[in-house]
Structure 1
Amino acid sequence: MIMRNRLALLVTACASSALVSVSSVAAPPERASQAVPDPGRSLAGGDDASAIAVNPANLAFLPAPEFRWMWVRPGSSSPIPAAGHSFSLGLPLWALSTGLRLDLLDPPDAAPAPFDAPYRWVRWGLALRASDSFSIGTTLGWGSSGALALDGHFSVTTGLTLRPLPHLSISAVARDWNEPQNRLGQAIERSYDVGVAIRPLGRRMLELGAEATYFERSQEVSPRFTMGVDVPRVGRLRGEIALRDLTGPARPGIAAMAGLEVNVSGLQVLGGGVFGDAYTRGGSGFYVGAALRAYREPGVLATRRVAKVRIDATPGARAHTRLLQKLWRLADAGEVDGVALVVRSEPASSTAHAEELGDALRLLRSRGKKVICHLEDAGGRSLHVCSQADAIAMNPAGGLRFAGLSTRYFYFGDLLRKLGVQADFVRIGAHKLAAEQLALPRGTPIAAEDHQQLVDRLSDVFAHDVGGGRRIPKKELSRRISRGPFVAREAKEAGLIDLLAYDDELDKVVEEVMGARVSVVDDSPPKNAPERWGSEPKVAMVYVDGDMVDGESQNIPLVGVRLSGSYTVARALKKAREDRSVRAVVLRVETGGGSSLAADVILREVILTARAKPLVVSMGSSAASGGYYVSVGGGTIYANRATVTGSIGIYYGKVDVSGLLEKLGIKAEGYRSSPRADAESFFRAYTDEEREILGVKVKQFYDTFIGRVAEGRKLKPEQVDAVGRGQVWTGAQALERGLVDKLGGLREALAEARELGGLREDAQVLALPEEDEGLLGLALKLAGVSAGAAAQGLGPVAAMPPALLDIARSLSPFLVFEPSRPLARIEVVEEASMGGRVTVPAEP
């Protein structure tokens, strides 16, 4: 950091010295392509729509669409012709940005001929953002006028901007490089601009610029200096000084502008003075302007409001984290007095996710915000989350469809037997239950005990959070819940909600809770303008969500199942490791495992990444079996109390469909070069010898699993084995057994990662791998299939009965794993709260 600061100061000093030395040549010529001035905008630092004329390369850094108007009037005695109105429209399009600008120039009476007649310029800019630190742009301009000397011009201007450091920007512009000609055949002189801008504090609050324009034929130079200073809760002070006639017989002329910008959300108004003897021979002029922008800069606090956040579909893994980030942002928003959650579907897909959302609501309240929930037809997840709010309102015609937590497991043994299909699996430990779902007609006594213990643990978390939020003792809460499900009136009598109100009465409810009249608006704030140049330091969040498979990630849109591919996740970890702007990594694990090979590929990349940068693990709904395996290669492991984790173990096997084929009149005959050449075939059963050998392989894979965990957790192999063999633990149990380090959600994991990486508390989060729905998912979305779910991150889900959808989701993971692959995964469990369903771990 010290070296960077010294480099910035050295570059700035050298540039300033060069500008001063070359500025002693002569007065710059006037030119017909001069635009209406944009006061205080520097060549290297101006990132708004004015860049179309100032430096087209900077148009690439425009944060969001903007329309800008400027009127400059230096006074009738000014000899400088650049006066009038300008209208600029900028539009960023991912890596490309474009914009249009119209300059209506009305020169003062004292402007020299031939610049004393009105003229117009239309400019079209196009810029490419090659990276966060480099851009290139070009503006095409067309000049027209009733005066022949100012008519018929076609100009090309090209600029480059380099921002190697957060506090340093360097730009160069070739202006009118095609030497445009007017109707008389006279050409505009080609010129070159060079400039630097620095932000000594590293952020936009103070910016200094120095630049010069060099005219090629006349070899004349014009220096210019700019400054911008943020004024807290107002906007920004801007000023500039340009020197002219430095070598003339009289003292040098000064052309200066200074003024104030006032920012109110996406609106900017500005005005100031135009003065100096080079601008006006007597008195001073003025400028005024305004801008409408889809982004905002620091300024006047917007009208205090209550932000309305609507949840229309249960969020998947990524949509859940986006919802958390939105609530955290609202907690820090000074203009927000409260948050109204309009919940129209279960807000969380699991008890663990409900924990994290409840924490976000408590954070809002700790920052002085009021939180109100409005429910309609709600379930247990809605009650879990909203119990942390100040008040819960419900539609009088709605209800709370909840009487306690439950889980559901599907067993296909009898179905397969009737079809003539034989499932043959070898596993480590009686607690490794995943294989039982295909092999048995029902769960074993051990499975029943394990499953009931899991429900009891999840219920404890639910009772703790809801009882604490609603101020109802645990036993009393259990008694009341057991009387469910409830219509709205019964839920209110049971103390589970506070108010009955229709949707149109939400504003009234908010005012009652807030104790005053407030404005309730949808949460859609403008984007904040970046505070730093270049690649802003950030934390990468790498998702491992869905069943882990070998190869690339996939979606199964018809059932809303996501498969997490080893190559895709490994590539994302490598990208985070090699990206210099990424200072820390959070591994967000939302999987019950899958292919043991996929888990090992991902674990290797996790280990390499943790060696290069701080890496923190955040366990979501499920981080079990292979999901736990990939978690042990990093640093601190955070788990929610209700995270399903553990399940350290392996199983291996296949299904034999030869019986089914015989029922269909199909006979499969195979030929082999050795007795076990077709051992993995679907068309015959294992022999006793093969099953014995398979058991040895499974033990070897299990020992590898134990060794990886022991190494990562600094435990002895026998300690890991004691809590392994397929046993499933909640996050709270895992902490007691040394399998995780801390209880906490994504907020705590991000906070530690940012601290370890030396980042600000609000440092940007880079989500990896990038989402890709695939062609089928896109086609279904375009067809309107479950558009609401897709918008919330669930992915398209076919319109089929819920019971069939649940069964399809339970079967889908078994259809994607090859029989020759050992599996490290937890059984598929359907966790229900009557108001909503979630498949764990195969969550969309």
Structure 2
Amino acid sequence: MFIFLSSIVYSFPHQERILDQDVTSVLSFRPNTIWRHAANLSFFSGQSYQLNYSQHQEIKQVGYSSVSEVLGLGVSYHQNGDQRWWNTTTALSIPFSPKFGAGLVWGWHHPGSSTERYDSFSTADLSLSFRPFSFLGFSAGTRNLGSSHPDVSTEYYSGLGLRTFSGALALGADWTMKDNENRYEGTLTLQPISGLEIRVFGNSTGSWGGGLHLTNSLGYFGGSYHPDQQQINYVQRVPNGRATLSKNKLVSFSLRSSYSYQPSNLLFQKSGMSYLDILHQIHEAAIAQDVQTIVFRIPRLQLSYAQLQEIAQEIQHARNTGKEVVVYINGDVDTKSYFLASFANKILMHPAANFSVVGIFSERMYLRGFLDLIGVTPEVVRRSAYKSSPEQFTHTQSSPASQEQTQERLSSLFSRICSTIAKNRNIDTKKVQDYIDQAPYTAQESKEIGFIDGLHYPDELEDLFDEWFDSPQKIDNYGRKTFDDGWEQQPEIAVLYASGMIVSGSSQDPGLFGGINMVGSQTLIKQIEKSQKDDNIKAVVLRVDSPGGSAFASEEIWRALQLLKKEKPLIISMGGVAASGGYYIAAAGDRIFAEPTTVTGSIGVYINRFQLDKLYNLLGIGVENFSMGNHAGIYGKSQGWTSSEREKMEHLVEDAYRLFKTRVADGRSLTPQEVEAIAQGRVWSGEAAKTQKLVDEMGGIYEAILHAKLKSGIKSTKEIQIRTFSGTQDRSLPLTQMVQQSISNQQTSIFTQISKELAPLTRDTIWAVLPYYEYLQ
């Protein structure tokens, strides 16, 4: 059976139909079963409540049910003269795939009369639903398993449903066997206009019936007629957990300092809300017609400037539609938090906090002196001058080329921050720069110079908003849910993530005690292949927020993306950083979106190793080498490269650099000369990268998704679903291994920090990685 909105409305005793029209109609009002075909919960999206009253001859029935996603609860009461009967049920579905689901119902039955109670008993229902196409569905199952009541016997059933013209015409055929008796039933449903449904049905016993109902996005009301039975049914749908008819809504978001692209799946860590989740909630509030005010409570933010710009675009969108946006900064105000807050109508802060918008600050660590101290000699081959990542091992300070590109990038970022604040706060840009140069300020001083609109304690905000916005209805977070009946699957856009350092093998998350994300080529390739094979996925958006990593792993991912690209549009969305190996894989896209503050480029490679002979001598360790082959010791660490070995390394690095540039030239339709001019390991901002033809458009992940929808041929008015692949690891780990893995990332000293963070860069492989992976304050 496939459940739609009107099954109870048109139900009569011993009836089960394939074309029933809402998951809440799994509540049946006859003694031998309450919940009907729970497998259909697998196809349901949203939340509903249902109230039903029916009368069949002298039998009166009333019931209530509630369904949310894959779980349902119901209770019903039946009266037949002196007989009384209570039923309560719990339904659970198992969604094996978007097209196939199974269900389990456990029912408790409490028969009795006004003068006597009978023994209660329980039953179980099992069901399967399969919808291979938008026009065809099958179902099968059994009801009342384990019944101990003589009048409640086990039933078996199956059904077939056909829908045409987007559900305007539907046909259903069902078979039921009970007590060795077969019954057949047919159903015809017509929807002549939107919101009106007419249905007629009959079965092999000669029974017939019909009815109609009216429905909209918020609910349903209808009735049915049968010679022996009449019913009235009401269903309330809930598109938003706190939505009411009020048009004066104030939506409040309490942002966290950072959000993962994919929630962690490690032990003791909550999965939480992903970055795309919170961005979508903000977007929904920004476009909602019933929302008048949006309030953000923000701490010190660790999001990238590119992510801040994506959130800021939604704030600007809200303001453009006439909404009032207020930001309350709880704690000291830093540059990132104020950059985001400047897009709001009003900015509030804590009276005792400091205004510490002092600009941007980058700090790097160079280990050459430390390595000399312990007798370790780094050896590096790189392409080219701007590929300064190995300088952290070979230098005590940055090279002139590194200083040049760093100053250029920070200057561009600082200029954008100042001009954005000036525009949003209606202050001259030069004055903004002067104010920042004189920071930090007290809270009162920041208000006097016009950076802050009000100083308030957190406990004062509720009364303040009531005064400002005429006692609005307050909602924490926001997000409308669409209702999916499971018949016609909406086309999907897959959003994949390459967030962290690119390595071969499986992805790794930071663990319990911190560290860095690892984008495993095997993990990401499996997700790419799944997206390629799934016919309902029409396009793929790859979100790249990576400084790069292994050149080989980047090539592996690039190849998988190329195969995907032959069949489906591939759109790239760059986050805070998509550089070196991150740009390597991004070059495979049909179109690349970036924010102006994105760090990208760094087209170059290097290989490094550490010569440890002096350290061994210092520690009194003797090393004896035996080799067969002129270059057998090329990856050894007890002695330096010979001239021949260095020549081989130069050749390998040059070849990897050539391949990298080829990937860029082919992906971006550039000549080799044009690529070399913008390569050499040089880092570009997203804005500059667009000028250099490394990026196509300025925009965030929403713009990338909309472009993917356009390129895949989906109509602009058609709703889409976003498919993500949860978890970073492609396999489960035993409990002891998960704990051991997490503890191994604990940073308990400066030496541990250095060794853990830089360990991937010390392997004997060719790296395409950003010259630095810094945190800008």
**What TM-score, normalized to structure 2?**
0.85
Residue 221 (structure 1) shift: 3.9
Conserved 8 A contact 1:607-1:633: yes
Instruction: State the distance in 1 between where 2:468 and 2:87 align.
Output: 56
Aligned residue number for residue 266 of structure 2: none
Aligned residue number for residue 315 of structure 1: 259
> Which deviates more from structure 2 when the two are superposed, residues 649-658 or residues 97-106?
97-106
2:299 to 333, 344, 367: 344
SS at match of 1:832: coil
Over residues 60-79 of structure 1, what are the superposed CA-to-partner deviations in whole Å (9 max), with x where a residue is unaligned?
3344676x5644242xxx43
Instruction: State the distance in 2 between where 1:531 and 1:757 align.
Output: 24
Residue 303 (structure 1) shift: 5.2
Instruction: State the distance in 2 between where 1:103 and 1:830 align.
Output: 61
Instruction: State the distance in 2 between where 1:518 and 1:43 align.
Output: 42
Aligned residue number for residue 106 of structure 1: 79
Aligned residue number for residue 63 of structure 2: 86
One-letter amino acid of the structure 2 residue matched with residue 576 of structure 1: S
Instruction: State the distance in 2 between where 1:325 and 1:742 align.
Output: 21
Aligned residue number for residue 366 of structure 1: 320
Q: Does 1:767 align with 2:744?
A: no
Aligned residue number for residue 192 of structure 1: 157
Task: Specify whether residues 781 and 506 from structure 1 end up closer, same or farther in structure 2 by C-alpha distance, changes over 3 A only.
Answer: farther
One-letter amino acid of the structure 2 residue matched with residue 165 of structure 1: F
SS at match of 1:128: strand
Write the mapping of 1:762-841 to structure 2, written as runs, cut at 5 A. 763-768=720-725, 770-772=727-729, 812-817=756-761, 819-833=763-777
Residue 399 (structure 1) shift: 2.1
Aligned residue number for residue 355 of structure 2: 400
Write the mapping of 1:54-93 to structure 2, written as runs, cut at 5 A. 54-63=36-45, 70-74=51-55, 78-79=56-57, 81=59, 83-88=60-65, 90=67
Q: Does 1:162 align with 2:144?
A: no
Conserved 8 A contact 1:260-1:272: yes
Structure 1 segments unaligned to the other structure (5+ residues): 1-10, 12-27, 110-115, 248-252, 280-284, 786-794, 834-844
Aligned residue number for residue 581 of structure 1: 536
2:139 to 166, 171, 194: 171
SS at match of 2:94: strand
Instruction: State the distance in 1 between where 2:753 and 2:325 align.
Output: 35
SS at match of 2:490: coil
Conserved 8 A contact 2:514-2:746: yes
Q: Does 1:714 align with 2:714?
A: no
Instruction: State the distance in 1 between where 2:366 and 2:762 align.
Output: 20
Aligned residue number for residue 47 of structure 1: 23
2:679 to 692, 700, 724: 724
Task: Specify whether residues 414 and 50 from structure 1 end up closer, same or farther in structure 2 by C-alpha distance, changes over 3 A only.
Answer: same
Conserved 8 A contact 1:49-1:90: no
Residue 686 (structure 1) shift: 1.8
Write the mapping of 1:214-233 to structure 2, written as runs, cut at 5 A. 214-215=176-177, 217-225=180-188
One-letter amino acid of the structure 1 residue matched with residue 765 of structure 2: R
One-letter amino acid of the structure 2 residue matched with residue 500 of structure 1: L
Conserved 8 A contact 2:246-2:473: no
> Which deviates more from structure 2 when the two are superposed, residues 424-433 or residues 315-324?
315-324
SS at match of 2:538: strand
Over residues 509-545 of structure 1, what are the superposed CA-to-partner deviations in whole Å (9 max), with x where a residue is unaligned?
445664x331233115574432653543111111111
Instruction: State the distance in 1 between where 2:74 and 2:396 align.
Output: 72
Task: Specify whether residues 657 and 331 from structure 1 end up closer, same or farther in structure 2 by C-alpha distance, changes over 3 A only.
Answer: same
One-letter amino acid of the structure 2 residue matched with residue 364 of structure 1: A
Task: Specify whether residues 812 and 261 from structure 1 end up closer, same or farther in structure 2 by C-alpha distance, changes over 3 A only.
Answer: same
Aligned residue number for residue 23 of structure 1: none
Residue 175 (structure 1) shift: 4.9
Aligned length: 743
Residue 101 (structure 1) shift: 4.3
Residue 471 (structure 1) shift: 1.7
Residue 137 (structure 1) shift: 2.8
SS at match of 2:316: helix
Instruction: State the distance in 1 between where 2:193 and 2:462 align.
Output: 36
Aligned residue number for residue 521 of structure 1: 475
Task: Specify whether residues 639 and 190 from structure 1 end up closer, same or farther in structure 2 by C-alpha distance, changes over 3 A only.
Answer: closer
Over residues 141-189 of structure 1, what are the superposed CA-to-partner deviations in whole Å (9 max), with x where a residue is unaligned?
56564599998887664433222334554434555688x6744xx7848
Instruction: State the distance in 2 between where 1:80 and 1:818 align.
Output: 83
Write the mapping of 1:331-480 to structure 2, written as runs, cut at 5 A. 331-346=286-301, 348-376=302-330, 377-480=332-435
RMSD: 3.9
Task: Specify whether residues 228 and 822 from structure 1 end up closer, same or farther in structure 2 by C-alpha distance, changes over 3 A only.
Answer: same
Conserved 8 A contact 1:296-1:529: no
SS at match of 1:373: strand
Instruction: State the distance in 2 between where 1:290 and 1:207 align.
Output: 22
Task: Specify whether residues 522 and 727 from structure 1 end up closer, same or farther in structure 2 by C-alpha distance, changes over 3 A only.
Answer: same
Over residues 804-843 of structure 1, what are the superposed CA-to-partner deviations in whole Å (9 max), with x where a residue is unaligned?
6xx976764430246321111112242332xxxxxxxxxx
Instruction: State the distance in 2 between where 1:444 and 1:623 align.
Output: 23
> Which deviates more from structure 2 when the two are superposed, residues 645-654 or residues 348-357?
348-357
Over residues 643-677 of structure 1, what are the superposed CA-to-partner deviations in whole Å (9 max), with x where a residue is unaligned?
11111111112012232232222222222123421
SS at match of 1:407: coil
Conserved 8 A contact 1:157-1:173: yes
SS at match of 1:118: strand
Aligned residue number for residue 564 of structure 1: 519
Task: Specify whether residues 221 and 587 from structure 1 end up closer, same or farther in structure 2 by C-alpha distance, changes over 3 A only.
Answer: closer
Conserved 8 A contact 2:521-2:557: yes
One-letter amino acid of the structure 1 residue matched with residue 760 of structure 2: V
Residue 508 (structure 1) shift: 4.3
One-letter amino acid of the structure 2 residue matched with residue 48 of structure 1: T
Task: Specify whether residues 80 and 673 from structure 1 end up closer, same or farther in structure 2 by C-alpha distance, changes over 3 A only.
Answer: farther
SS at match of 2:582: helix
Q: Does 1:129 align with 2:95?
A: yes
SS at match of 1:828: coil
Aligned residue number for residue 546 of structure 1: 500
Task: Specify whether residues 126 and 417 from structure 1 end up closer, same or farther in structure 2 by C-alpha distance, changes over 3 A only.
Answer: same
Structure 2 segments unaligned to the other structure (5+ residues): 3-10, 28-33, 263-273
Conserved 8 A contact 1:423-1:656: yes
Instruction: State the distance in 2 between where 1:674 and 1:221 align.
Output: 81
One-letter amino acid of the structure 1 residue matched with residue 550 of structure 2: S
Residue 310 (structure 1) shift: 0.5
Instruction: State the distance in 2 between where 1:388 and 1:582 align.
Output: 35
SS at match of 2:710: helix
Instruction: State the distance in 2 between where 1:518 and 1:146 align.
Output: 50
Residue 260 (structure 1) shift: 5.7
1:750 to 690, 702, 705: 705
Conserved 8 A contact 2:43-2:484: no
One-letter amino acid of the structure 1 residue matched with residue 61 of structure 2: G
1:655 to 586, 595, 610: 610
Residue 738 (structure 1) shift: 1.4
Residue 594 (structure 1) shift: 0.8
Residue 605 (structure 1) shift: 1.0
Aligned residue number for residue 277 of structure 1: 227
Residue 334 (structure 1) shift: 2.8
Give the share of equivalent positions with the same residue, in percent: 24
Task: Specify whether residues 537 and 139 from structure 1 end up closer, same or farther in structure 2 by C-alpha distance, changes over 3 A only.
Answer: same
Conserved 8 A contact 1:573-1:609: yes
Conserved 8 A contact 1:511-1:518: yes
Instruction: State the distance in 2 between where 1:766 and 1:808 align.
Output: 38
1:537 to 474, 491, 494: 491
Instruction: State the distance in 2 between where 1:621 and 1:374 align.
Output: 24
Task: Specify whether residues 221 and 546 from structure 1 end up closer, same or farther in structure 2 by C-alpha distance, changes over 3 A only.
Answer: closer
Instruction: State the distance in 1 between where 2:47 and 2:636 align.
Output: 59
Over residues 297-326 of structure 1, what are the superposed CA-to-partner deviations in whole Å (9 max), with x where a residue is unaligned?
999745531111012323345543333222
Instruction: State the distance in 1 between where 2:222 and 2:669 align.
Output: 66
Conserved 8 A contact 1:63-1:295: no
